[in-house]
Structure 1
Amino acid sequence: MASTTSGDVLPKGGSVFTTFPDIFFIPEFVFGGLVWILVASTHVEPANPLGWVMFVSVFCFVGTTLWFFIFVCGGNQSSAWPAVDAGFHFLAVVFYLSASVDLAFITYVNGKFLPGTSDLKTYRLEISAVVMSHVATLLYFLHAIFSAIRWKRA
């Protein structure tokens, strides 16, 4: 993997695909999108905690997409961008961690009352969403830690 120790603070262009921690963008897209899809495909009561999960997954997906395009287009070469990078990813970690805990709790509560087989399918989708949400949390956490390290080195 290429390092970012050249004259640039953050990578730009195609080097986003080869630098660490920016290589986490692609798995964050995949797992964040899966959380969004899996939660959207179920109908669960109460809707409020899952509304938060949907907000977090959509917010982080759109934010990561915008962030990725800023990196690819090279609009991130100011000295303030490493701090903003670390801040965005720490915010995403806090959001995803709270959403993951909410989703896991609602899934646990709904799993106690499974009257039919259609509910079992929904329950399995919810379990998949919980797993993907925790994986997305881990990816954002790793990205945040290594972005903070890069910020302190710059």
Structure 2
Amino acid sequence: MNNVMKAVMKNVWALIFGLLFGAGLVISGMTDTANVKGFLDITGHWRPALALVMGGAVLTALPLFRLAQRRGQVMAGQIPPARIDARLLIGAGIFGVGWGLSGVCPGPALVWLGVDPAQIAPFVIAVLVGAGLADLLAAPRAALERAATPETR
């Protein structure tokens, strides 16, 4: 298979898995912010649906992650080293606060773009701006790490 066909197939697989992911979000009700906020409301009327969806996702993904680790490669790129550091913890905290306040996760937000773009556009723009800022803040550190790492050829 030539390089062009490989690139096309990679994009076709990405589209298929993206559609499958979106369908799963819609079917499970995770595009409804009331389900997400209900899951986070542990003192009121708690909705466990999100926990069940997460559990199903973990059970589905875990064998595939193990396969990717054994191969040392994913469909696009390399598996990054597992490292829990301040950047990861701060990013996870910001993600969690945004998710809790809005009731929207970036995955369902992308599904919403196809349903009601005007309503979800501000959230998607905020996510993209946040991701861009994170990249800008990480760029100097990444350059230092590259400079400190000896090249192996």
After TM superposition, is the score higher than 0.5?
A: no
Higher alpha-carbon Rg: 2
| Larger RCO (CA within 8 A; separation ≥ 6) | 1
Q: How high is the TM-score relative to the length of structure 2?
A: 0.31
Q: How high is the TM-score relative to the length of structure 1?
A: 0.31
